[in-house]
Amino acid sequence: MATEAIARPIQHPREYTGLLGWLLTTDHKKIGIMYLIFTIIFFFVGGLLALLVRLQLAWSDTGILSQDQYNQFFTMHASTMLFLFVIPVGAGFGNYLLPLMIGAKDMAYPRINAFSLWLIPLAALVMFSSFFVEGGSAQAGWTSYPPLTGKTFLPGSGTDLWILGVQILGISSVGGGINFLVTTMTMRAPGMSLARMPIFVWMIVITSVLVVFATPVLAGVLTMLFTDRFIGTGFFDPRQGGNPILWQQLFWFYSHPAVYIMILPAMGIVSEVLPVFSRKPLFGYKAVIYAGAAIGVLGFTVWMHHMFATGLSVPLTIWTMLATMMIAVPSGVKMFNWLGTLWGGSLIFPPPMLFAIGFLFMFLIGGVDGMFHAIVPIDYAINDTYWVVSHIHYVLFGGSVFGVFAGIYFWFPKMTGKFLDEGLGRLHFTLMFIGMNLTFMPMHVLGLKGMPRRIADYQSGQGWEVWNLIATVGAFIIAASMIVFIINFIHSLRSAPKTAGEDPWEGNSLEWSTSSPPPEHNFDSLPELHSERPTRDARIARQPLVPGAQASAEH
Amino acid sequence: MAIQATATHGGPAHQADESMSRGMAGMVFFIASEIMLFGGLFAGYFYVRGQADVWPPEGVHKLDAVTGGILTALLLLSGVVAHFGVVGAKSGKQGQFILGMALALVMGTVFIAGQAYEWFSLMDEGLNAGSTVYGSTFYVMTGFHGAHVIAGLLMLAVVFVRAFWRDFTPSRHLFVDAGVLYWHFVDVVWVFLYVILYVLV
């Protein structure tokens, strides 16, 4: 079988080495790794803020933080985790993996890609600088509802810097989303039809559609908030004929699809990891794709379930309730696809598999306790209590973050040629799994006992202290697990031997057919592809897809 | 390694073929996201308008649909001449290409000047962005659109200058196509803005 060289030019005018090689690169792999490093740093920053919040709430009347500090820290915790960690970390994996998985040399627009990356630290500087301005950082929660965010109540520039930072991140996201879509449309290797793309690529594509169509609405509504604050427009001010509910409508029109932007890449990662360590094909490849697409489409119709308490009309309420419950159907389909993949497989449990299975458990709990919010009468009772906090952390921490760590342990050997230490990885997983459940499970109880979210302090004698203390202990166990991870990461990077080879896990998708780390152009040549598991097919046929890829590795 | 070295300086002919569709795809997705941006603004407009008892509020000067109509016609005409220029670029008629771009640039600039003039005269008459939400929607929506017109004019200006440098050939004119497509988008959005802000009140 003749091999066909892919003679796509890469648009690198000059090669730099050392630090400049990273700062000026347009190589999707280096950009992807920098995305991951930046976002994980922000994950740690957001985590430290969370620890302070948990310390303050550990018992009634602790007095560790002032109310202003508390408001700033919980707002910046959420803003950091959502806008600077969960959303861009998906783009980081996408950047590194998507071109490799479809057999391309790079992204469609390498320079726009670098631009999208460098906007992220810029936005972080803008957002974090707000801690040092008069009045402190943004402090109205990550949802920043007016009229609280109006000039009357928050005259300081912290809110303005927050708006600016989120706008910059929106530009970064849209640039990245367009890049992923065009890359997938125009740069697939011969034989890589849409129905042969890895699930991860599909999930990045669906995520990108959501990014491209939802993020601009956020840009519009943030601009309205900005002009309300600066030139006195009245979009959210009833005295001028505006309405604060308008903010909620437009904000959630973005931010509900955004929760799928946050979870779909993690679902893609899990869909790659589970088949490899079950030694089976993914159960229902097409069903997973259709379910992902259905989640994407339905995700645009249910934003008002964040607004049941604002007094929507009855037909809107009922429609939103039904549509929200409908989303559980494709999510359930995926859950059964994953279970079907495990069923009867020859399971092995290295760290990526542990995190992927952790994802299944945690995401299931998050999905089920979210359904209570979908049911309007129950939502009236538990709206804005700690039940919400528990729900979003089960889906975002238990879901997205477990998926992210599954991905890190899974692809670290591809990125570096080295394994992360397996024993430390198991310790990391165990601590994180225990800590996560200790932190967020008691919040269900707190929610049912009526503890409102976003309060800086509470009176004793309501039966809240013990549950809060357990949650705080859990938060510090999570922190301990992160220390284990950092030790593992640095230790493995510095002193682990390069033993990974091309295909350390006996993988399925194309990235396992090139060296670890891959050369700058990814593949010397690729044959016409015939299935959605090209690397596995070649391994079974004992005919490597890319002859001598190991020898051509650069390092 | 050898492949990498050659790939770095890929042949221009080869690149042209592929980047053609790639570049246009990017512009199409970008315009799609821009449509959502204006969609959000329109949704906000209808939301506040729908809850108002009187629209525009009493005592507020009504917008002049005739002046606005003339500007609208001008902007639409600029789209036509820009298309005329693209046809010239595709068929290698350099004169037609440059003439079309020049006319489109002039018309677009006149549109922006007219818009600015209208802003200032409305402010003189007392319609401010801060007075009522009616003024807020008017200035923010036309302001957003004006910023997009200026972006479109910059693209047309780059096309115009590069046309002088003879950077484009009948087979190689991606930037022309993409820039003019964006210009058409800006025109079409204005038609919707004109209809809801000037006519249907």
DSSP A123-173: HHHHHHHGGGSTT-S--STTTT-TTTTSTTT--STHHHHHHHHHHHHHHHH
Contact (Cβ atoms closer than 8 angstroms) between residue A442 and residue A471:
yes
Of B10, B52, B144, the CB nearest to A9: B10
pTM (predicted TM-score): 0.93
CB contact under 8 A, B8 and A174: no
**Six-digit token string for A134:** 């008069």
Tokens 């407009």 identify what position? B45
Q: Using CB atoms, which residue from B7, B21, B32 is nearest to A521?
A: B7
Distinct helix (H) and strand (E) counts, chain A: 17, 0
Q: Is B120 exposed, middle or buried (0-12, 13-18, 19+ CB in 10 A)?
A: exposed
Closest approach of A444 to chain B, Cα-based (Å): 35
Task: Please give the pLDDT value at position B17.
Answer: 44
For A181, A348, B155, the CA distances from A91, given in Å and listed in that order, are 12, 28, 29
Residue of A308, A79, A113, A327 whose CA lies nearest to A208: A113
pLDDT at A12: 53
Least Cα separation, residue A89 to chain B (angstroms): 22
d(CA A155, CA B129): 20
Q: What pLDDT score does A548 carry?
A: 55
Q: Residue B61's pLDDT is what?
A: 75
Q: What is the pLDDT of residue A547?
A: 67
The pLDDT of residue A10 is 53
pLDDT at B13 over 80: no
Residue B11, pLDDT above cutoff 60: no
Distance CA(B201)–CA(B193), nearest Å, equals 12
Q: What integer pLDDT is reported at residue B1 of this predicted model?
A: 31
Q: How many helices (H) and strands (E) does chain B have?
A: 6, 0
Question: Is pLDDT at B12 greater than 80 in this prediction?
Answer: no
Q: Are the C-beta atoms of residues A534 and A510 closer than 8 Å to each other?
A: yes
CA angle A543, A548, A553 (to 5 degrees): 140
Chain center to CA of A397: 9
pLDDT along chain A (555 residues), means of 10: 46 70 93 97 98 96 94 97 97 98 96 97 97 94 95 93 97 97 95 95 97 97 96 93 96 96 97 97 95 94 94 93 94 96 96 98 95 94 96 97 98 97 98 98 96 95 96 98 98 94 94 93 90 91 72 43
CA-wise closest residue to A513 among A537, A485, A481, A479: A537
CA distances from A335 to A265, A508, A542, B89 (A): 15, 21, 33, 54
- The label of the residue with tokens 């089960």 reads A394
CB contact under 8 A, B129 and A227: yes
Bridge partners of A452, per DSSP, are: A385
Of all residues in chain B, the one with the smallest CA distance to A226 is: B140
Query: With contacts defined as CB-CB under 8 Å, which chain A residues touch B174?
Result: none
The answer to whether B22 and A108 are in contact (CB under 8 A) is: yes
Query: Which amino acid, one-letter code, is at A400?
Result: S
Nearest to A332, CA basis, from A383, A377, A381, A284: A284
**What does each C-alpha distance from A544 to A211, A427, A511, A535 come to in angstroms?**
37, 35, 13, 8
Q: What pLDDT is stored for residue B109 in this prediction?
A: 97
Instruction: Look at residue B5 and tell me whether its pLDDT is greater than 80.
Output: no
Q: CB B21 to CB A215 under 8 A? A: no
> Which residue, among B48, B131, B133, B193, would best test binding to A if mutated, counting the most A CBs under 10 Å from its CB?
B133
pLDDT over threshold 90, residue B60: no
Position B10 pLDDT exceeds 50: no
Q: How far is A351 from chain B (nearest CA, A)?
A: 34
Residues in A closer than 8 angstroms to B48, CB to CB, are 235, 241-243, 246
Residue B42: both structure tokens together: 């329109």
* 3 state DSSP class of A306: helix
